[in-house]
Copies of this chain bind each other. A is one copy, B any other.
Amino acid sequence: MTPEQARELFRAGTRAPTSGFSAGWTQANLIALPRDFAYDFLLFAQRNPKSCPVLEVTEPGETSAPRFAGDLRTDLPAYRVYRDGELVEERTDVADLWREDLVAFLIGCSFTFEAALLEAGVGVRHIETGGNVPMYRTNARCRPAGRLAGPQVVSMRPVPAEQVATAVRVTSRYPAVHGAPVHVGAPEALGIADLGAPDFGEPVEVRPGEVPVFWACGVTPQAAVMHSRPPFAIGHAPGHMAITDARDSEFLVP
């Protein structure tokens, strides 16, 4: 499915996690904030590049970007709407909520390197089960910027112990889409009490001989919104990404 076809599907109302969609095309996290918060957020991203690798920034009020030819208000499968940091609504379309002063940031997503993991023989459990990746709010704090602060959010994939090194090596070649894991094993050291109860997405089974491997996650901006309470923000529903017109290969380093 091309990015355009996938976006058309979502525009028409289909709602699904996008892991595995439009293989080879880059998926992105969305966070849209009032112009007044744009500098703080761009600085937050600069200071937390593992969590917030910025792919595109729109002009205020614009609804597309050079590497996203669709409509940011309608072409993601699902959105989350925040007022004063509270999640007030989840819906499949935010056309009527988009404002002239909103600046949208598209942020790299770890789904990008999943194709490379599969190719290297490292299975990806939530693709196998057709579910959403589990994501956790951690006790690691982001470096604050202006009025924005918050915890680092991570995604988790169980990896057989003998393939952990391969998973590190493969994903470190994609620094613009979270890159190498931030943490391998020991979820308790991240303040994660129960892997079975993720803060976002769905739990996956960690089998005997497998190690939970954690990557920085582009839901981190939404955790910062919840923590810092800007008056208004729109994000994607975790796991329900923007499918861009950029190629995964663009983010591969030698």
Contact = CB atoms under 8 A, between A and B. Distances in A.
A43 B103 CA distance: 12
A254 interface: yes
A117 interface: no
A173 interface: yes
Which of A38, A39, A57, A175 counts the most B-chain CB atoms under 10 A from its CB? A39
Number of copies: 2
Overall SS of chain A's interface: helix
A87 B76 CA distance: 47
Contacts of A39: 38-39, 42
Contacts of A91: none
Nearest to A172: B254
A: contact size bracket? 10 to 19
A54 B52 CA distance: 14
A46 interface: yes
A39 B42 CA distance: 8
B38 A46 contact: no
A172 B253 CA distance: 8
A43 B105 CA distance: 11
Interface string A22-48: 000000000000000011001100110
A169 interface: yes
Interface string A164-186: 00000100110100000000000
A38 B169 CA distance: 36
Given A42-B43, A175-B253, 4 more contacts: A38-B39, A39-B39, A173-B254, A175-B175
